[in-house]
């Protein structure tokens, strides 16, 4: 009997109906399938019925169990089981050497970080992931709602986000304290890279945008101008708002993704003696 380990965010999905719904939501592509955290392998089993799979599991006890349970699939290469921390793998490179779709019941404690890493991985094209409902709503939030923050902007600037369905705590063993949701993020672009598909010119420009978002949303209920003027010229920021016919009392969640992108670009333009992203790269 394998005990669930809290430190690895282990809540094993028991509900067969939910497993079927996840399988039905998978994109119908020829791409490689990758799973993070196969756990006791129940969802893995269903995924393997559809496609070959590459999986990452951090818990060495579970890896022993999985190697035994899936010995035939591993022997014939239908399942590649990698033991280790998926975040370490992301630090080095991609989870796969070709384009892939990610399907996972993610551990809550690192779900947001994993999603942001997968969004940055140019080989990851689609994510079907189960996460805490509250976090799912943040990724799928639309402008003018209170949940609309940098997570929704970072996801929707390169793709489409959809909450597919909610999952109650009773679907798991052990049961988590909160509801979960399965979300689908389909990427249509990349943050940077190949000219026509990159939203930003370079990695440095993308990182500058992440920094801009941290500043713009540092106090989400305060005005955009109040937040932004801690890092950029207030005079310039005010003139940009007026140029765009936007009120100077507008709050960061009231600005659309397009507004944020445009304001960021204009703030980067050198006019007040501060360094632009491009200048920093040259240094």
Q: How far is the CB of 114 from ligand SAM (least distance, A)?
A: 8
Distance CA 109, CA 11 (A): 12
Annotate each residue in 188-227 with x if it binds ligand SAM (CB under 6 A) or - if it does not, as one string: ----------------------------------------
User: Rounded to the nearest whole angstrom, what is the least distance from the CB of residue 61 to ligand SAM in the complex?
Assistant: 9
x/- site string to ligand SAM, residues 2 to 21, per CB under 6 A?
------xxxxxx--------
Q: Is 121 in the site for ligand SAM (CB under 6 A)?
A: no
The residue (of 19 and 138) whose beta carbon lies closer to ligand SAM is 19
In whole angstroms, the minimum distance from the beta carbon of 88 to ligand SAM comes to: 8
What is the residue-wise DSSP string for the chain?
-PPPPGGGT--EE--HHHHHHHHHHS---SSEEEEE--TTSHHHHHHHHHS-EEEEE--HHHHHHHHHHTHHHHHTTSEEEEES-HHHHHHHS-SSSS-EEEEEE--GGGHHHHHHHHHH-TTEEEEEEEEEHHHHHHHH--TTSTT-SHHHHHHHTTEEEEEEEEE-GGGEESPPSS-EEEEEEEESSBSSSSTTTBSSSSHHHHHHHHHHHHHHTSSTTS-HHHHHTTTS-HHHHHHHHHHTT--TT--GGGS-HHHHHHHHHHHHSSSSSPPPHHHHHH-
Q: Which is nearer to ligand SAM, 42 or 207 (CB)?
A: 42
Does residue 186 bind ligand SAM (CB under 6 A)?
A: no
Binding residue for ligand SAM (CB under 6 A) from 107, 159, 198, 252? 107
Nearer to ligand SAM, 19 or 125 (CB): 19
Q: Is 38 among the residues that bind ligand SAM (CB under 6 A)?
A: yes
- Closest distance between ligand SAM and the C-beta of residue 191, in Å? 23
Instruction: Please identify, among the stretches 105-113, 132-140, 152-160, 245-253, the one whose residues bind ligand SAM according to the rule CB under 6 A.
Output: 105-113
Cα 96 to Cα 92: distance, rounded to the nearest angstrom: 11
The answer to the question of residue 85 lying near ligand SAM (CB under 6 A) is yes
Least separation in angstroms between residue 148's CB and ligand SAM is 27
Name the residues that contact ligand SAM, by CB under 6 A: 8-13, 36-40, 42-43, 56-59, 62, 85-87, 105, 107, 110
């Amino acid at each position: 009997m394998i005990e669930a380990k809290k430190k690895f965010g282990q809540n094993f999905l028991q509900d067969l109906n939910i497993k079927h719904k996840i399988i039905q939501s998978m994109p119908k592509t020829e791409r490689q399938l990758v799973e993070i955290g196969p756990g006791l392998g129940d969802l893995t089993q269903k995924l393997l019925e559809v496609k070959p799979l590459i999986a990452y599991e951090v818990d060495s006890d579970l890896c022993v169990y999985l190697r035994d349970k899936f010995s035939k699939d591993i022997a014939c290469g239908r399942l590649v089981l990698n033991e280790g921390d998926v975040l370490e793998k992301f630090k080095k490179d991609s989870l796969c050497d070709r384009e892939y779709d990610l399907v996972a019941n993610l551990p809550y404690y690192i779900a947001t970080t994993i999603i942001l890493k997968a969004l940055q991985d140019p080989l990851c094209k689609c994510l079907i992931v189960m996460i805490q409902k509250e976090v799912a709503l943040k990724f799928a939030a639309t402008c003018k709602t209170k949940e609309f923050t940098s997570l929704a902007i970072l996801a929707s600037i390169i793709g489409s986000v959809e909450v597919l369905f909610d999952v109650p705590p009773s679907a798991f063993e052990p049961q988590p304290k909160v509801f979960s949701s399965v979300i689908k993020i389909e990427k249509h672009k990349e943050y940077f890279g190949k000219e026509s598909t990159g939203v930003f010119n370079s990695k440095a420009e993308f990182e500058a945008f992440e920094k801009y978002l941290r500043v713009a949303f540092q106090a989400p209920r305060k005005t955009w101008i109040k937040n932004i003027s801690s890092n950029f010229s207030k005079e310039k920021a005010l003139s940009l708002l007026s140029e765009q016919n936007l009120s100077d009392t507008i709050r960061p969640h009231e600005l659309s993704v397009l507004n944020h992108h445009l304001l960021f670009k204009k703030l980067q333009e050198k006019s007040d003696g501060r360094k632009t992203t491009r200048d920093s790269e040259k240094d």
